[in-house]
Structure 1
Amino acid sequence: MKLTTTLVCMCCFILFGHAQQQDAPSPIIFIYDASGSMWGQMQGKTKMEIASGVLSTAINELPENQEIGLVAYGHRKKGDCNDVETLLAMDNSSKTKVSSAVKTIKPLGMTPLAYSATTVIDQLRKTKKKATIILITDGIESCDGNICDVVKAAKMEGIDFKLHIVGFGLKANETEQLKCAANAGDGNYYDAADAGGLGDAMNEVVVQTVDKKEGNFGVYAVKNGVPIDSWVRAYSTDSKKEVAAVRTYGETRYMYLPPGKYDLIAQPLSSNVKAVTIKNVAVIDENKTERTISFDGGKIATNTTNNGEGWDTMVKIIDENGDVAASGRTYGRVKELEVNPGTYKVEIQALAMKGLDTYHEVDNITVTAGETTPIEHDFKTGTIHIYAKVGGEDIDSIVNIKEVNTGKGVDAGRTYNRGKEFLVNPGMYQIKIQPLGVHKDKNPQTITVELKKGQTITKSLNFEG
């Protein structure tokens, strides 16, 4: 019995140990820029200080059993294109050693990107391991090498790795070779313009490892034909849970989505462009597909009139969540408002007129990118002139107008010794006139009028002197 128990325990230990080994992630190897340009200042700190802090923060989020290698270039000899050193082997499991090592590096020399990549690839060739390589650089190749050619050759040889490159403060015309290398290495190029951008890039890049299932769903975000940077998150249509997310960086970037249906929420990283939602996107299989997400707006053109003439109104466009997507004032002209593609409600409030028909609502207006959807509405009014008189002279009075059927007060005003004009919707109205000032003790008079579209009614009410 004792022997049986011992054997069972040994088997469990072996199986458990094997599972742990299987679950251990593949190494991540950082290639760290220690060229002289890393002394450059950015936001009050050297780029070396910023990169060191960001790298330390990023690796702290990695699993405890993550192996992390560190290779640096340009830190020992000025002008030496072979100055590449493995500071920590890829089987290092101490995050503290990585943080300590980068803090002691003193930038000095050249930027041998191709030779640095060759050094790491040689290590993978010898160990026959697969790994994620993350290159951080603030400059382009300065030693006549071509990192893209190095990576392509290694992939043709069958060496298993994923290469990401983070460009720190590079100019747009300096990134072509780096993008080529990242693409050849089945990874991404990340452009970091400042400390915040470097932090964002590092947080994303450390989870896009060689172990992660290859992306099958590519997204590309554009606004008026120009690519823009955007976060795209995919939610299961059924469970509403987030399944995957990717940042586009102005390019086509991939995430892995199992076959199924998804709602995509794309949030542009630009303050003047609003998020869009694309529902029920079907992923049929694991073959690569791509989706262009357009932030091009469509327009709603509102033309409001009163008795056929252009009229001033306030317009609100309400989205499916009940939020105001856009608003504006017509000033008697056609008003165009741009919104994201989708379905909206349009609310129109007429100005200057009174009555029960000064508000109009149009539901289920479909807006398509690049197209203009027209909406027209004609309000109707008539005019009532009221004069209060004593002995043939105009006097000051207060006028209250109620709609007869509802008893609702629709307008009020004072005649100020010159009469008062009221612009109201057609209808049956009860009008009460109460003299003011020296005549305030006189009894009010009430009249009823029926007003039709375009009609002008003038009423003079005489009060005894």
Structure 2
Amino acid sequence: MKKLALLFVVFCFFLKPHAQEVSPILFIYDASGSMWGKLEDRTKKEIAADVLAETVGNLPENQDVGLLAYGHRKKGDCDDIEYLVDLKNHSKAKIINGVKEINPLGKTPLARSATIAINSLKENKTKATIILITDGIESCDGDICDVVSKAKLEGIEFKLHIVGFGLKEGEKEQLKCAANAGNGSYHDAANASGLQEVLTEATSQTVDGPKGNFSIYATKNEQPVDAWVRAYKKGTKEEVDAGRTYRDTSFLYLPPGKYDLQIQPLENTRIKGTSLTVESIEGRMGHETVSFDGGKINIITLNNGEGWDCTSKIMTKSGEVVGGSRTYGRPKIIEVNAGVYDIELVALRIKGLHTTYKIEDVEVQSGKTVEAKHEFKSGIALISVSGGGALVDATVNIKDKNANKGVTGGRTYTSPNNNPKEFILNPGVYEVALKALTEGFRGKSETFTMEIKQGETFTKTINF
């Protein structure tokens, strides 16, 4: 038995742990003649080569990377497509040097390039993340969306991201269709920094990662809006996933549970970000269409059933203040972006420990009005001070007895307009301390306890 145990220990010592499989990334590179066009005083070829080199250089050491290029050898040849670096390549330098040596010449055979890339996966019985970078649309016969859709029906496993580099509106539909069919995303890049950003994101969303199970679509005035989406575990700052809509749909992977989503537009700076709480359910595809069209909150503040003047502060779930106003005792309608908010109300003139109230998780939907209502409670204390047949000026300090905390104070003065002194207080038990200031009574003091009841008036006269 001891020998068996020893053999087991020796076996475990020499057994190497199985490394987690990391599928290759294949870049399909646009070497068509239009890559000599300029952006920011540099050719798109130079920008793409530099950015791709930096992106590849930042990939993990165990990441295999391949490179396929089209249009780099002949003008007008739709079959000018070549694997420059094989998928099993471990060398980042091969990719970087290969891109720098490319001389853009030819056409843009997107469908044929995708076919060659996908067929190589099928032949090698492997899966991969494919990232296609193009500055133009299909210029040969073929439909890349159709190619990708049919490959998926065959069960070929891959994820396709497409980066449109300097493309115009109206040139992207087929590319978006292909990316969607390939379980990936379409990304726009207008300059070097934009290209770096989207390539970083694309290389992080690989075929090895869990498939998105929650989609987000953002709009303003019924038009799609490019926006960042970040998901946090509900009530925390722990980020679970993030993505970008690119005026289309962003897919996140959210394990079963509740999440706070922060959605921040990346265009039209007049649009403010918004937030909402969602739930991801096992085995179900979740979706939210986020409209940046305004919804309305009808804030109603009462005191003992009557309208009461209060201040309001509307905050996102992350604590950002997005609106607020005084109610002046009347319903107050405030327009904000659609989302989920907390509303902090502060009652004016009422004193005590319950003059602030937070209404949580008020959901505002675009084009709709939601009511946010709260009723405060109070009673009145009338405190009069006199002596020798005349009114006496005295300081008044009121403390909540149970909490042993001061809540308000004042002076009675010697005018009948202010003596008795009126205090509007939350219901409760209070300790009152008086100290006379009028000559002849200066220094005299008195204390007493009073109970304030909702809607009732407590009257007390102190005669020095």
Query: Under a length normalisation based on structure 1, what TM-score does the superposition of the two structures give?
Result: 0.67
Corresponding residue number in structure 2 for 1:3: none
Distance 1:39 1:399 in 2: 87
| Residue type at the aligned position of 1:137 | T
Q: CA 1:186–1:379 in structure 2 vs 1: closer, same or farther (change >3 Å)?
A: closer
Q: Deviations over 1:324-345 (max 9, x none)?
A: 766623240323465886695x
Cα deviation for residue 169 of structure 1 reads 3.0
Cα deviation for residue 202 of structure 1 reads 1.8
Secondary structure of residue in 2 paired with 1:269: strand
Residues 1:103 and 2:103 are matched in the alignment: no
Q: Deviations over 1:157-176 (max 9, x none)?
A: 66654432111232342211
Distance 1:334 1:416 in 2: 38
Residues 1:293 and 2:292 are matched in the alignment: no
Corresponding residue number in structure 2 for 1:282: 281
Distance 1:140 1:160 in 2: 25
Q: How does 1:213-292 map to 2 (within 5 A)?
A: 215=211, 217-222=213-218, 229-231=227-229, 233=231, 245=241, 247=243, 249=245, 251-252=248-249, 254=251, 261-270=256-265, 272-278=272-278, 281-284=280-283, 289-292=284-287
Secondary structure of residue in 2 paired with 1:136: strand
Corresponding residue number in structure 1 for 2:8: none
Secondary structure of residue in 2 paired with 1:90: coil
Q: CA 1:77–1:417 in structure 2 vs 1: closer, same or farther (change >3 Å)?
A: farther
Secondary structure of residue in 2 paired with 1:53: helix
Distance 1:60 1:40 in 2: 25
Q: Which of 164, 168, 172 is 1:171 aligned to? A: 168
Residues 1:149 and 2:134 are matched in the alignment: no
Corresponding residue number in structure 2 for 1:361: 357
Distance 1:278 1:310 in 2: 34
Corresponding residue number in structure 2 for 1:377: 375
Distance 1:429 1:42 in 2: 75
Q: CA 1:301–1:136 in structure 2 vs 1: closer, same or farther (change >3 Å)?
A: same
Does the 8 A contact of 1:232 with 1:264 survive in 2? no
Q: Which of 302, 310, 313 is 1:313 aligned to? A: 310
| Residue type at the aligned position of 1:163 | L
Q: CA 1:158–1:330 in structure 2 vs 1: closer, same or farther (change >3 Å)?
A: closer
Q: How does 1:323-402 map to 2 (within 5 A)?
A: 323=319, 328-332=324-328, 333-336=330-333, 347-351=344-348, 353=349, 355-356=351-352, 359-361=355-357, 365=360, 367-370=362-365, 372-377=370-375, 400-402=395-397
Does the 8 A contact of 2:109 with 2:140 survive in 1? yes
Q: Which of 83, 86, 101 is 1:86 aligned to? A: 83
Q: How many residues align?
A: 422
Q: How does 1:45-56 map to 2 (within 5 A)?
A: 45-56=42-53
Corresponding residue number in structure 1 for 2:27: 30
Identity of aligned residues (%): 37
Q: Deviations over 1:194-247 (max 9, x none)?
A: 44443333223234444x26626242344687766444558699xx998x7352
Secondary structure of residue in 1 paired with 2:285: strand
The runs of 5 or more residues in structure 1 that have no matched partner are: 1-10
Cα deviation for residue 252 of structure 1 reads 4.7
Point out the more displaced range, 290-299 or 411-420: 411-420
Does the 8 A contact of 1:168 with 1:192 survive in 2? yes
Q: CA 1:156–1:354 in structure 2 vs 1: closer, same or farther (change >3 Å)?
A: closer
Q: Which of 100, 109, 112 is 2:109 aligned to? A: 112
Residues 1:72 and 2:69 are matched in the alignment: yes
Distance 1:234 1:403 in 2: 45
Q: CA 1:233–1:385 in structure 2 vs 1: closer, same or farther (change >3 Å)?
A: closer
| Residue type at the aligned position of 2:70 | Y
- Larger Rg: 1 or 2? 1
Distance 1:179 1:347 in 2: 43
The runs of 5 or more residues in structure 2 that have no matched partner are: 1-10, 266-270
Corresponding residue number in structure 2 for 1:200: 197
Secondary structure of residue in 2 paired with 1:329: strand
Q: Deviations over 1:240-279 (max 9, x none)?
A: 998x73525254555667xx74343433233832444445
Secondary structure of residue in 2 paired with 1:215: coil
Does the 8 A contact of 1:31 with 1:135 survive in 2? yes
Q: Cα RMSD over matched residues?
A: 5.3
Q: Which of 54, 57, 72 is 2:54 aligned to? A: 57
Q: CA 1:48–1:420 in structure 2 vs 1: closer, same or farther (change >3 Å)?
A: farther
Corresponding residue number in structure 1 for 2:268: none
Does the 8 A contact of 1:235 with 1:241 survive in 2? yes
Does the 8 A contact of 1:354 with 1:411 survive in 2? no
Distance 1:165 1:350 in 2: 55
Q: Deviations over 1:275-295 (max 9, x none)?
A: 44445x4314xxxx3112365
Q: Which of 280, 299, 304 is 2:301 aligned to? A: 304
Distance 1:214 1:206 in 2: 14
Query: Under a length normalisation based on structure 2, what TM-score does the superposition of the two structures give?
Result: 0.67
